[in-house]
Amino acid sequence: MSSQNIPMPSVGEKTPIRETNLSLDDRVRSLKIAKEDRLDNQRSGGWFAWLLVVGLSVACAWLAFRDDQFASMLGFARPVEESKTETSPKPTSASSSSTASPTTSVSTKASDGSLSTQTPTSANPIALESRGYVIAKHQVLVSPQVSGRIVSLNIEEGRRVVKGEVLAEVERTEYQADVEQTRGVLMRNEAELSELETGARPQEIAGATADLQEQEELVVQLESQYKRLKEAIKSNSISMTEFEQAQSSFLSTRKRVEKLRQSLDMMKEGPRKERIEMAKAAVIQAEANLIKSEWRLDNCTLRAPISGTILKKNAEQGNLVNPVAFSGSTSICDIADLSDLEIDLNIQERDISKVFAGQSCEVRSEAYPKRVYKGTVSRLMPIADRAKGAVPVRVAVRVPDEEQGVYLKPEMSAIVVFYSSPEK
C-alpha cells in the first residue's frame, strides 16, 4: 500500500472527523497532544482560583477587625478591656448550681424537674434546693404486751395525748388469777425457808431428849435381863428361845438409843445448808413468777408511750389482740410527735458536697408554699442509695404547738432550700 503525505494539525486545533486513511500511530499521536493541552489549561485556571480565594479571605479578616458588627456576624470576638472603675462583682445565676444574691429572685430546678422561682428570706446565699417528704422523728406503733379481748378503747384519729394516758383495756380475769396463784406459791416457799432457818423449837428438843432418856433406861433394864439369861442358859434352866428374844430386844433397843441421840444432835445443830439454799432458790423462783404475773396484769392497761398525736386507729372495741400470732390485731394505733419533724430527702451525689450537718435551711410544703419553717440539716445517712445515685439526708424542723398537724403532716411533700452558711 502507498502512503500519502497528510499535514499534521497544530497544537490546540481540533482535528475534524472525516473519512481518511490514517495510520493507527498517527491517530494515537494526535489524541495525546490534545489531552496534554487540556491539562495545561486546567492547571493555569486552578492557580488563579486559589489566588482569588486567598485575596477574599484576607479582605474579610481586615474588615472584621475594623467593624465590630461585621466581626460579630462572622464569629470573630474583638478583645474588650475590663472597666477599671467596676468594683462590685456581678451576681451569678442560681441555675449554675452555685450561689445567688439574697435580694434577687432565683429560679431553681427541683428534683422532679419543675422550676420554682422564689425570693430567699435568709441573708445567706442559696447553695441548693431539693424536694423531699415530711416524716415524724418520733413515731410509735402502740402494740399490746398481752393477748386478750379489748373491753375499753379511748382512741380517735387526730387526738393529742400525753405520755401515760390510758388508751385501751384488755380483759384481766385470767391474768388476775395467775397473780393470786403465784402469790400463794411464794408464801408457801417463804414459810418453808423460814422454818429451816429458825430450826427446831425448844419444846421439840426437850421432847427428843426425853425419848432418848427413856430408851437409855430401857436399854439398861434389857441389858441386865440379857446378862441374867445368859448365865441361866449355861445351866439349861431356860430355853434357847427365851434367851434369843432377850438378846434381840437388848440389841435393838441399844441401836434405837444411838439413833435418837444422833437425831437430837442434828436437831440442835439445825438443818443442812444445802436444804436452806434449795428453799431460798424456790422463793426466788416464786418471786420471779409473781413479778411476771403482775407485769402481765398491768399490761392489760395500754398507755400512751409518748406525748403526741394519734395518726391511725388500728383496732376496735371487742377485737382480739395478740402480739405474737398472725390472727387478730397486732397493734391498736400509731402515735407521733408532730412538733419534732424531719424532711427526708435524697440528694444526688453530684450535689452532696453542698450539704453538711448543721446547715441552715428553709422548708416550704407544696400544699402551703407561703408558710416558711426554719430547718437544720440534722444528719447525712452513712450509706448511699445505689439505685437512685443519691445520699439520704434528714433536715430537722421545729413546729409551734398551735400548728402541730395543721400545715406540715407526715408523708406530705416539701421543698427545702439549703443555704451556704451554717445555722447561727
pLDDT tens for each residue of 346-364: 999 999 999 999 999 999 9
DSSP, res 353: G
pLDDT-based confidence at residue 63 (cuts at 50, 70, 90):
low
The CB density around residue 291, as the number of other CB atoms within 10 Å, is 11
pLDDT-based confidence at residue 18 (cuts at 50, 70, 90):
very low
Would you kindly state where each structural domain of the chain is located, as residue ranges? 1-78, 106-138+337-422, 139-171+300-334
Q: What is the average pLDDT across 237-251? A: 84
What architecture (CATH level 2) is domain 106-138+337-422? Beta Barrel (2.40)
Task: Decide if domain 139-171+300-334 falls under CATH 2.40.50.100.
Answer: yes
345 or 329, greater pLDDT: 345
Contact residues for 416 (Cβ-Cβ < 8 A; gap 6+): 129, 130, 131, 132, 343, 345, 361, 362, 363, 375, 395
77 or 299, greater pLDDT: 299
Q: What does the pLDDT read at residue 270? A: 78
239 or 88, greater pLDDT: 239
C-alpha span between 215 and 218 (Å, rounded)? 5
Asked whether the beta carbons of 282 and 193 are under 8 A apart, the reply is: yes
pLDDT-based confidence at residue 324 (cuts at 50, 70, 90):
confident
Lowest mean per-residue pLDDT among 44-53, 198-207, 228-237, 403-412: 44-53
